[in-house]
């Protein structure tokens, strides 16, 4: 095994450990805020996916959340009842698209502001703006590489 392989292997192990911990912390942040009285972490995750993608089908959401189509459909149904998502126009009547409503966009804006403040408290002054921007750029490059390799 060469140095590149060892570095990638180390990065994968570290990434998995850090992501497990960060996911736990984010769940705690959401639980500590008033946001969980409104939505579950999974519902917020679904809304984030819809926000990122613009519009999605139930099948796409199920695939992205790694859940069954029936679970994704129920999740969307509840979000639609609450007014956070709405059906989107599709040229193909067989394809049912959903998108965020204005209320959904406003909710995610509040959720992001809440999480941003909590993350800033936890990070303190440990990172410069340049370090944060570099980290985000690296994540985007990794995401891009994975998406292009499919």
Q: What is the structure's pLDDT at 18?
A: 85
Q: What is the structure's pLDDT at 101?
A: 96
Q: What is the structure's pLDDT at 36?
A: 58
Model confidence at 118: pLDDT above 90: no
Tens of pLDDT, residues 59-92:
999 999 999 999 999 999 999 999 999 988 877 7
- The mean per-residue pLDDT over the stretch 43-64 comes to 92
Mean pLDDT of the chain: 87
Return the percentage of the chain with pLDDT > 70, whole number.
95
- Among candidates 20, 17, 83, 95, which has minimal Cα distance to 55? 95
The alpha carbon dihedral of 81, 97, 50, 59 has a sign of positive
Structure tokens at 33: 């805020």
- pLDDT bin (cut points 50, 70, 90) of residue 34 is low
- Among candidates 61, 101, 65, 66, which has minimal Cα distance to 82? 101
The pair phi, psi for residue 67, each rounded to 5°, is -130, 170
According to CATH, the topology of domain 33-148 is Arc Repressor Mutant, subunit A (1.10.10)
């Amino acid at each position: 095994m060469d140095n590149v392989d060892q570095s990638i292997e180390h990065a994968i192990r570290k990434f998995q450990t850090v992501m497990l911990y960060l996911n736990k912390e984010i769940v705690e942040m959401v639980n500590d805020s008033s946001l969980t009285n409104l939505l579950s972490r999974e519902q917020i995750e679904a809304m984030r996916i819809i926000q990122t993608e613009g519009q999605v089908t139930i099948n796409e959401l199920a695939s992205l959340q790694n859940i069954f189509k029936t679970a994704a459909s129920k999740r969307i149904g509840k979000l639609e009842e609450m007014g956070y998502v709405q059906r989107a126009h599709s040229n193909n009547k067989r394809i049912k698209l959903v998108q965020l409503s204005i209320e959904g966009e406003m909710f995610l804006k509040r959720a992001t502001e809440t999480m941003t403040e909590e993350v800033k408290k936890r990070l303190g002054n440990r990172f410069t703006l340049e370090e944060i921007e570099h980290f985000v750029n690296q994540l985007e490059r990794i995401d891009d590489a994975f998406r292009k390799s499919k």
